Amino acid sequence: MTRLLDARTSQNASYGNTISIPLPANTPVAIAELGLDVTGAGENMRVQLSGIAELSFPTTPPFDSVIAISIVRGTLDSPVAYALYSVSVSEANPNAVQVVTINASDYNVPLPPSNELVYTLYLFCTADATRIGIESFNAVAYSD
């Protein structure tokens, strides 16, 4: 029978236009981190993850700009999930807000010795941008 181990949220900004944090071009930035207590986990541990972020641009970004959002188990490992977005630039609204989301599942997760399973949400853009909120990161751990 499936058991819920833990659920956490890292909420940096609940609403849009509530923060103004520079996101330098070509620099991955950790925007959220959370730790799940997986004490007593059984076999087949798995984690459901989701995240969202909103960006704006101080100037019209190049037409080939890309935004990446990724989830990493721990803080430095290879991504568990990775999503790329092309920046949508229109003549009518060249600095429109860009919303990026990610949903992922991490299966057969090894039990960490500390019983704390850490995930980090990273944001990256090929053009200078500003993080304006919403920023939210969610994780739920289960095992059999």
Q: Please state the pTM of the whole predicted model.
A: 0.92
- CB-CB contact of 133 with 54 (8 Å): yes
CA distance 99 to 133: 9
Q: What is the pLDDT along the chain (144 residues), one digit of tens a residue?
A: 899 999 999 999 999 999 999 999 999 999 999 999 999 999 999 999 999 999 999 888 888 899 999 999 987 777 888 888 888 776 667 677 899 999 999 999 999 999 999 999 999 999 999 999 999 999 999 999
142 to each of 50, 91, 109, 116, 120, how far by Cα in Å? 15, 46, 10, 13, 18
CATH 3.40.50 fits 3-143, yes or no: no
Measure the CA angle with vertex 133, ends 139 and 72; round to 5°: 35
- Tell me the domain boundaries of the chain: 3-143
Q: Which of 120, 28, 47, 112 is nearest to 77 (CA)?
A: 120
44 to each of 66, 74, 79, 106, 107, how far by Cα in Å? 35, 19, 20, 10, 7
